[in-house]
Structure 1
Amino acid sequence: MTDQHRPPSSGSARALMGFGSATDTAPDADPSPAQPPEPAPTPAAAPVHRTLSPQRLTHEIYEFLSGSKLSRELQTHWETIRKPAVSGRRVGLHGLHGGVGTTTAATLLAQALSSVRAEPVLILDLAAHRSTAAQRLGAEERSLGKVLAQLLKLPPNSNPERAREILGLDQGGVSCLSLGPDQRLKEDHWRRLMGTLSRSVPFTVIDLGSGYMTPNAAKAAGHCHTVISVSAPGRQEPQEEPDAHLADHLQPRTPVLKLLSKNSTRRRLLGGHAVTMPWDPRAALDSECRAEKLRRRSRTALLRLTGRAAEAVL
């Protein structure tokens, strides 16, 4: 591993995050005996954005995503995720049925992409059930329909910064837009939305829901550069019917990546064509889900999943 990608030591990490103490060395001076020097003022704590350089911050992210043991495979995934995108890329996630963790995987994938690439990431929540992506992120839930009305007013060659501001990406991190099944968009609106995302958003993660997709999810699936199919854990036989339904709405050469639970029986059927992720109670609760709170094995699996998804679209 090169010095560029070596994580900082624990001592330097504590200093970077503001836990260490720092004192400034005063310049040499010869104070007059008649007037004793005044005590030097205590230096104020440096702001975080000045203390953490981009390289050091990247090392910190790498450390909490992959842990201290860095394998060649994880380094390869790390470099793949950081490749520049020529235009906006879109990754969809579809579950074979409800409750397999599609929304959880979507939120974790978006957090990993945003952290490693140091770019804002957008989540489109198109699930037929009650929208939970914003809740999992601990973010404000916004309606895609209202945002789209503002985007349609922009000129075709408008500044991408203006589109990012409307989408809520000007603050960085991960933003979420939801669209219920009762709010159906026209095909022309989908094309204009996806064109705006291609010009303005480096990565968009689309939660296509589970089972048979809604008309909105079916339209969005046709604009995805890759789709991750989330399998149900513990199934004795693979469910081909939902997979076939998903394939009906994808472009002919759109790659599909299989995401399985670690104890899924489909693992031996798919072999190396699937990514497994262990069950983690810190991500299974119906509350805010953060990548840095996962166990180390789960963080490693998340980095592997993100690398495989980036490899398919970059």
Structure 2
Amino acid sequence: MLSYLRTRHFLHVFPAQAAVILPRSISNSSSLNMRLVQFQLQGSQKIGVELKNGGDIVNLTDADSKFPNNMVSFLQGGESLLNEAKRCAEEKSTIVSRNAIKILSPITKPEKVICVGLNYKDHCEEQNAPLPEEPLIFSKFPSSIIGNGDPIVIPKISNAVDWEVELAVVIGKRGKHIKAENALDHVAGYTIAHDVSARDWQMQRNGKQWLLGKTFDTFCPLGPALVTKESLPNPHKLGLKCLLNNYPMQDSCTEQLVFKTEACIEWISQFVTLEPGDVILTGTPPGVGVFKDPPVYLKPGDEVTCEIEGIGSITNPVIAEDV
């Protein structure tokens, strides 16, 4: 995510709450390595465990009545339900073929989608902006969420729609005033987010408030799976890319994050209670269209792919609004 500020770059001193925090060791880390998905089977929504990236699915919802049909309710069940899901995945008793289902966004209808702006060092350099002294927070509405393969719709009232690949953190445990050293206790896992952004509405219209430019319908593709935190013990050293029509536009690493995930959780939880299923978008690296010369924006017929190491990729076609 980006700021339209264009000021001289300066040496940044991190405040105490934003100090770089190395990942803590995680107990029972091997027991909960999973790729959790939401999917549609014969018109009904269900949750499951992906046996491998792009592979068949263990249908949890139909395996046992204790499992709900949506990820938010599943995460509200806590670690005991995660352990039950792991057991079902190992037994492989209710496998459904990938070809028989439609994969949905791993999270739908969360209470909150919280975003961190200007949070990559190399993205700040791209626009000659100073590193922020504290996390810059805005939001998207949950109604902006779509899944892998669903179309991104260019609104009739915008002609400057841009791409932003991001690592998304999914909350698994309720918390307020969470300390950074305890932040991972509240994380269920990670997924890929595409923070689609209408730059005209973000940077010029509506008093330059970011919300409207960020939250048009279809402006938050998520997926393909929710990868549990045990599967990615160091989320701060992951390569991430965005490709437009198979041409690389963004290519960086999460080690460029200004505020790591723990610092973001600590900061955000001062203001709001984080709930299971809440999604935090952690920022985007350089290569967005608005800062190219001349600017490049999405148009109907384009296809955008967002990739993150250890999670996979999501691809969304771009279409015009038909209203």
Q: TM-score, normalised by structure 1?
A: 0.24
Higher fraction of helix: 1
Q: Which structure would you say has the larger Rg?
A: 1
Q: TM-score, normalised by structure 2?
A: 0.23
Higher fraction of strand: 2
